[in-house]
Structures are given as structure tokens and as C-alpha cells.
Amino acid sequence: MRVLFAVCPNKSIFQYLAPMAWALRTAGHDVRVAAQPKFAGVITQAGLTAVPVGRDTPTSELENPAQRAAERAGLPKPYDVAEHPEKSTWEYLHSGYRHNVGWWHRAENFPIVTDLVDFARWWRPDLVIWEPMTFAGAVAAKAAGAAHARMLWGQDVFGVARSEFLRHKADRPPEDRDDPLSDWLAGYAKKYGFEFTEDMTTGMATIDQFPASLQQQSNLRYLRTRYVAYGGPAVVPDWLRIPPPRPRVALTMGLSATEHYDSYVVGMGDILEALSDLDIEVVATVADDQRRGLKIPDNARVVPYVPWYALTATCAAVIHHAGAATLATTSLHGVPQLAIPFHFDQTIYARKLAEHGAGLMVSTTQATGWTVRENLLRLLNEPTFRQRAEHLRDEMFALPSPNELVARLEELR
């Protein structure tokens, strides 16, 4: 069958989808990936066929300093009801949708939707897979008569918020059921000659790469698959081939901390200093522009990048920012984790990890070198964390691989 992926021009988000695209290709299906023209190089670098659609949107049109500060504070309204269910009221959700449809979802989708629909009607895909922010994928699927599914790259905060909104909407009088999201998508439905249906907001099914114990879920239909680590081109350094003489601890605050926000939210130097007298080997990933003035102790190795799946496999514990890919990759190796969340859905992941018992969570407001040290020592010295981490690993490996999920996706046609 013909499968069309529709993604926003975000490298981290695309990398979550690439293994599923390859699973479909190796099963014999024709796979294309549609995105803004500027993103074609990232797609082809992954060995996939790119379909440039629409126009490139300058980053400045989608971001500003106030927005980035708000994102660091956590999930935006209304999607924060996934983390704070007490906020779930009609007024709160409705105003949140009105705001986000107006400045976020329109801006992400308007540049590509016309071209994407035209391509889909010409190519006639059997299945369209879109990530949660690319609603244009659902529009194109409906316009071309294709089945379609969302594929998550994190917590399903979009599905949770939508389920809550519909629950409140059902209780409203008919004359007071204004729905900013469906009204916006219904405009495209009318333009392209079909009726709006609710699956345009959350897909006919949702592909989820995490076990239920780590997900905040709605009542939608989920097709679960095992996360497969992919971070783009990478070289495993020679030093990783040598078994560490002491317990190895990996430390990262993620690439987006400096690519998107310009700085780390916790002091890397403070953490390295607090761990400097421990009988461990620390491997920290620190961007080159953040290394200026950084004092590196004798028990630490600082590198700008290292393939996380290769590094984590050699570790006794890991300290990270609770990014979904970092957390999932670490979980696949059964390694205890200390999570210090600072962006979007990371607090939910950190909390779920701690509830599972496979790690600990420290909020950014409490994350000092010494609090990190204290929690790391617990991970290294208390066997329960390793046991629970191995349980989480087994839970993840019990999920069907992307290749095994292909048959389920074929049934959506």
C-alpha cells in the first residue's frame, strides 16, 4: 500500500516517526514523508523519500521569548489538563483551544495544507500517518479518501485535552457548544468537499511508542508499539568499547535545551562538582557553546554528543531531563534514572517514572548539585531501583515492534 507521513519541520519529532516509516518500507510498502521544503534534507538523510509541500515558515513566526519562557514552565493551556485534571472546565478548555488554534495550529498547518491535499489527491495514499500537531495530515487523508492515524512523540496531552473538552461539550446546551478546533477543521472539510468528523482531531487510531505505565491516556483507540531509538547520523566513539573501571553515570539535559532555549535550566558545572569525589565515571553531554568556563573534574568526560543508546547500555545510572526519547532509550536498557524535567510533557514522564519505581524525580526548582548527588547515590546503592528499571525494560520489550505493528496498520485501510 501507499503510506504518506505528514510531519512538522522539527528534527526531534521526525526522528520518533522514522523507525515506523522504515518498518512499513521493509514490509514492502511505498512510503513518502511530506513536510515543508526546508526539511527535505532531514528526511532524505534518514533514507526516506521526501515530499516538499507548501512554503517554509520562518522560525520567528512560530516562536518568541515569551512563548519559550511559557513552554519551560510546562504544558500550555488547554493541554495542561493532562497534568492538572482539576483545571478541566468548559471555560478553561474552550479558551485554551481558541488561543492555540488561533496562533499555533493555524500557523503550523496553513503553509502546507493546500499542497498536501493536492499531493494526496494525486498520489492516492491508502494510509496517512501524522504527528499530533500536523492536522493537515488528517485533512489530506479525508480529501483523498485514505485511512489515517496519529503517531505520538510524547505524552498524548492532545488526546486527553480533546476527550475532556468533548465530555464538557456534551453537557452544554446546543446553542453553546462552540468548538474552535472542529470549526477550524470543518472549514477545510467544506473547502475540499467532505464533512468534518471527529477523527480529524485525533485520528482513526493513535500509534503510541510507550507502555501504559508511562502514558497519561484518554479513551481513544491506541495501537501500541515498542520505541526504537533513532537520533540521526551517529558514530560510536572508541572509548565506549572499553568497559568502564568504575560505575558509569551519563548526564544530559538534552539537545533542545540549547538549540531551542539557548541554555540549560540547571547548572552542569554545579552537578559535575557535586559528583567529583564519588568513585564513578561521569559522561556528560554539553554543547560546545556551554563549555566556556566549565570546570571538568578528573572523574568526568564531557562531550558535545554521543549516541545515547550506545552510552546508556554501559551505564549504572543516568541523569537526564525526562525527554521522551532519552527516557525511553534508557528504559530499554533497564538502567535507573534521575529525571529533572523542564519542558512541555517532561514532568508527566518524570512523575510516571518515579511512580513506576524505575527512577527518581527532582523538580528544576530543587535541582542543585547536592540534591542530584543525594538522589544519584540512592539509585546506585538501593537495588530496588535496578529491579524496577529491569521490570520497565521487560514491559517495553513486551510491546510489538514497529515491524509487528505493520499488520495492524494495514487493517485500517
182-225 pLDDT per residue, tens: 999 999 999 999 999 999 999 999 999 999 899 877 889 999 99
Which residue ranges form the domains of the chain, and what is each CATH number?
2-224 (3.40.50.2000), 238-397 (3.40.50.2000)
Residue 43 CB burial class (10 angstroms; 0-12, 13-18, ≥19): buried
In the predicted model, what is the mean pLDDT of residues 172-189?
95
- CA-nearest of 268, 32, 210 to 130 is 32
Residue 389 has pLDDT above 70, yes or no: yes
- 8 Å CB contact between 199 and 147: no
User: Helices (DSSP H) in 241-332: which residue ranges?
Assistant: 256-259, 268-274, 308-312, 324-331
Closest CA to 277 of 363, 362, 376: 376
Calculate the alpha carbon distances from 351 to 262, 322, 336, 357 in Å: 26, 9, 14, 10
Number of neighbours of residue 254 by Cβ within 10 angstroms: 23
Name the least confident of 77-81, 266-270, 331-335.
266-270
Burial class of 277 by CB neighbour count within 10 A (0 to 12, 13 to 18, 19+): exposed
Cα R_g (the chain), whole angstroms: 22
Residue carrying C-alpha cell 492532545: 158
User: What's the confidence (pLDDT) of residue 68?
Assistant: 57
Grid coordinates given for 223: 495501537
Across 183-322, the runs of DSSP E, i.e. the strands, are 206-208, 222-224, 248-251, 281-285, 300-303, 317-320
Q: Which of 256-260, 280-284, 287-291 has the highest mean pLDDT?
A: 280-284
pLDDT for 364: 85
State pLDDT tens for residues 317-339.
Answer: 999 999 999 999 999 999 999 99
Report helix, strand and coil shares of the chain as percent, to nearest 5.
Answer: 50, 15, 40
pLDDT at 74: 77
The grid coordinates of residue 266 equal: 540547571
* Single-letter amino acid code for the residue at 68: R
Element (H, E) at 361: strand 359-361
Angle made by CA atoms 97, 99, 105, in degrees to the nearest 5: 75
The beta-strand segments (E) located in 84-200 are 127-130, 147-151
> Kind and range of the H or E element at 338?
strand 337-339
DSSP secondary structure letter of residue 313: T
pLDDT score of 154 more than 60 = yes
DSSP 278: S
Above 90 in pLDDT, residue 374?
Answer: yes
Per-residue pLDDT tens digits for 340-352: 998 889 999 999 9
Cell numbers representing residue 97 in the block:
483551544
Q: Which residues contact 332 (CB under 8 A, 6 or more apart)?
A: 227, 229, 309, 312, 393, 396, 397
pLDDT tens-digit profile of 131-144?
999 999 999 999 99
- Band (pLDDT 50/70/90 cuts) for residue 59 is low
